Chains A and B, each alone.
Chain A
Amino acid sequence: MFFAKLTGSICLITACTLYSRLIFLQYKRYIADLNQIYQILYRIRGEIAYSRSPLDDILYHIRNQFPEPFHTWLSNLMKQITLRKFTKFDSLWTERITEDLNTIRLKPGHRMLLAEFGQHLGSIDYETEAGTMQMVLERFKTEIQKEESTLKTKNKLCNYLGFMTGLFLVILLL
């Protein structure tokens, strides 16, 4: 009986710890996704500055360099630009973020920042646009740094919380 209880307790504590690890890994993945978005925006800005190609051409060239769901996001954006169904680019940009990046579950602040990048894209002169893009990129970088700075604390917190929850449940059940 004692061994059964001991095994059960160990299993419970391990499961809770693993679950908390999973939550932490998801958070790490989220930061990696934010970094991917940052890279995409950075590439768009770079291509605009270097080649001054139209957006559909830029998206066509960069989309294959990014994994899913970003590849689909960029591909759909490119297709919709060619179809010219939207009267304004920012509504197209926002719609594609909602439709194609829903798996990432962006935080409202990050979603707004991403939407802001597309707000004036292609509708103003290059100089103003370059300034706006730079500003959004800097804010995005700061957000990523902010998230990364809490990574260590969150790692510890997840580990402790997982273990403690397991322990609490063991005590409760015993």
Chain B
Amino acid sequence: MKDVQKKQRETQILQILPKTIRRELEAEAIDFDRLQEIRIRVGQPLLLVFNQEECMIPSSLTDKHMVTKNEVRETLDYISNYSLYAFENEMKQGFITIEGGHRVGLTGKTVIENNKVKNMQFISSINIRIAHEIIGCADGVIPYISANRQICHTLIISPPRCGKTTLLRDLVRQISNGNKFVKGCTVGVVDERSELGGCFMGIAQNHMGIRTDILDCCPKAEGMIMLVRSMSPEVIAVDEIGSPEDVHAIEYVMHCGCKLLASVHGSSMEEIQNQPILNRLIQEKRFERYILLDHSIGIGRIKKIFDERGSLIFQESA
């Protein structure tokens, strides 16, 4: 099973690369399980990132592969299936999600209209971030955020790159499928930036569970209300809340009897309490559990879990 997934990932990545780079990667026998990023910049060497370490190819030669303008163009054609117009909305955000949930970041010259990015042209850099789903990373959290086989309103607090999206994704999967701590229930996911489901053409590329409905590329506040009205979810999950509209939508969702799973950028409970937008929700004890992540103890590791009164119910031992 793992071999099939590995082969699939390899095919998904190789098929979007220009033939010249494809040949070199195949010759190098790259380990796609460890590969995190491929950075393609016009006029610069091709960079591969493995476990936070960069390397250039071909590894045996001193003359490294220099990326040409045509190779960037070819990559763009393959990424978009020769249909750039179909990805204009994604390009506005600076990335395209491809088959397999891998994310392709783009930079170039932005086209501005009414002070907003309308499109991007003359693409000069492409960053392919390979999706690595960590199934089971929420195993240790589920017992603390559930009661009577029901999930509690939960907020995940974490600085960037600590694995909050990965944790949220696995929570969604487990709640949707059900296990001994929670009974399987309908989960609605508002995936504004296609990070949770990694949707490609509307279909989730990550494992999101059997009872999950995803609204892809939809603004969070609007999406939460749409889901309540159309899909009658028992749980709603959203990533990176923060705007006043999000808070209104969260209140609406909670009033409708849905449980809420959300994540927010932050490094401590105090920091979140000091945010004017989220402060009211915390004071009103809207959230029943707070999960705090911290990279000092490792990516994706749970530092602390608090209840609605702010009492510590779990702490990672050093």
Interface CB pairs A-B, < 8 A, 19: A52-B85, A52-B88, A53-B201, A54-B80, A54-B81, A54-B82, A55-B81, A55-B83, A55-B86, A81-B82, A84-B78, A84-B81, A87-B70, A88-B74, A122-B81, A123-B77, A125-B111, A125-B119, A125-B121
A126 to B111, CA, bound (A): 13
- B residues lining the A interface (CB < 8 Å): 15-16, 18-19, 70, 74, 77-78, 80-86, 88, 111, 119, 121, 201
The 9 closest A-B pairs by CB, nearest first: A54-B83, A89-B82, A126-B85, A122-B82, A54-B81, A122-B83, A54-B86, A55-B83, A84-B78
Query: Which residues of the partner chain B approach A89 to less than 8 Å between Cβ atoms?
Result: 77, 82
Query: Which residues of the partner chain B approach A122 to less than 8 Å between Cβ atoms?
Result: 77, 80-85
Residue of A nearest to B16 (CB): A84
Q: Are A129 and B81 in contact (CB under 8 A)?
A: no
Using A57-B201, A125-B119, A125-B121 as known contacts, say yes or no to A88 and B77 having CB atoms under 8 A apart: yes
Query: Which residues of the partner chain B approach A126 to less than 8 Å between Cβ atoms?
Result: 85, 88
A57 to B77, CA, bound (A): 15
A8 to B121, CA, bound (A): 73
Interface residues on A, range: 20 to 34
- A residues lining the B interface (CB < 8 Å): 48, 52-57, 81-82, 84, 87-89, 92, 121-126, 129
Using A87-B74, A87-B77, A122-B80 as known contacts, say yes or no to A129 and B19 having CB atoms under 8 A apart: no
Residue of A nearest to B85 (CB): A126
A123 to B75, CA, bound (A): 12
Query: Which residues of the partner chain A approach B19 to less than 8 Å between Cβ atoms?
Result: 87
A72 to chain B, nearest CB (A): 19
Query: Which residues of the partner chain B approach A123 to less than 8 Å between Cβ atoms?
Result: 77, 82, 84
Q: Are A48 and B201 in contact (CB under 8 A)?
A: no
A51 to chain B, nearest CB (A): 9
Query: Which residues of the partner chain A approach B201 to less than 8 Å between Cβ atoms?
Result: 53-54, 57
A123 to B83, CA, bound (A): 6
Using A84-B15, A87-B19, A87-B74 as known contacts, say yes or no to A125 and B82 having CB atoms under 8 A apart: no
Query: Which residues of the partner chain B approach A129 to less than 8 Å between Cβ atoms?
Result: 85
Query: Which residues of the partner chain A approach B119 to less than 8 Å between Cβ atoms?
Result: 125
Query: Which residues of the partner chain A approach B83 to less than 8 Å between Cβ atoms?
Result: 53-56, 122
Query: Which residues of the partner chain B approach A81 to less than 8 Å between Cβ atoms?
Result: 81-82
A124 to B18, CA, bound (A): 19
Query: Which residues of the partner chain B approach A56 to less than 8 Å between Cβ atoms?
Result: 81, 83
B40 to chain A, nearest CB (A): 15
Residue of B nearest to A92 (CB): B82
Residue of A nearest to B78 (CB): A84
A83 to chain B, nearest CB (A): 9
Query: Which residues of the partner chain A approach B121 to less than 8 Å between Cβ atoms?
Result: 125
B71 to chain A, nearest CB (A): 9
A109 to B65, CA, bound (A): 43
A48 to B82, CA, bound (A): 13
Using A87-B18, A125-B119 as known contacts, say yes or no to A55 and B77 having CB atoms under 8 A apart: no
Residue of A nearest to B70 (CB): A87
A48 to B81, CA, bound (A): 14
A81 to B121, CA, bound (A): 22
A121 to B77, CA, bound (A): 11
Query: Which residues of the partner chain B approach A92 to less than 8 Å between Cβ atoms?
Result: 82
Q: Are A124 and B81 in contact (CB under 8 A)?
A: no
Considering residues B16, B70, B77, B119, which has the most beta carbons from chain A within 10 angstroms of its beta carbon? Answer: B77
Using A87-B19, A88-B77, A123-B77 as known contacts, say yes or no to A55 and B82 having CB atoms under 8 A apart: yes
Query: Which residues of the partner chain B approach A52 to less than 8 Å between Cβ atoms?
Result: 85-86, 88
Q: Are A48 and B77 in contact (CB under 8 A)?
A: no
